[in-house]
Amino acid sequence: MAGWRTWDAQTPSPVFSHSLGKIRTRQDSPTVGRVRCWPESRHGNIAGSVHGGFIVAFIDIALTAGSASIRDGDPVHAVTVELNNHFLAPGRIGEAMDAVVEIVSETRGGMVFLRGKVEQGETVVGVFSAIMKKPQVRG
């Protein structure tokens, strides 16, 4: 499998994903991609752990970035229709956080079903499932 790659939104001006900091991706298997970020103090909550909103935003970005790592750089060009998340443990500031993203199924109608987990070291911070919709090409 390929090594770590830099994930960049490739836009002429800053977009939301840039607020997450640096993001790296790699392919773990033919159907699983891994996306890594490094939560900073600005991503924290008043309890000193990673804010849940940051984690959910990271998952949403990881759906596309993870699919790109699975498809050798070609992301699923789709919008998130549904994202379910369950927090299992607090995230730690300053420690690498990974989203492990699996494409479960794709339909001919353009629906993409994904699932995965967020982890820091041996700790599973959360689990998620998502549905994305590819835009229809009009001809």
What pLDDT, in 10s, does the model give residues 22-59?
999 999 998 899 999 999 999 999 999 999 999 999 99
| Confidence at residue 5, expressed as pLDDT on a 0 to 100 scale | 85
d(CA 63, CA 75): 9
Name the stretches of the chain with pLDDT < 50. 1
| Confidence at residue 49, expressed as pLDDT on a 0 to 100 scale | 98
- Yes or no: say if 38 and 96 are a contact pair by the CB < 8 Å rule: yes
Domains in the chain, start-ordered, CATH in brackets? 5-9+18-133 (3.10.129.10)
| Confidence at residue 15, expressed as pLDDT on a 0 to 100 scale | 73
| Confidence at residue 20, expressed as pLDDT on a 0 to 100 scale | 84
| Confidence at residue 116, expressed as pLDDT on a 0 to 100 scale | 97
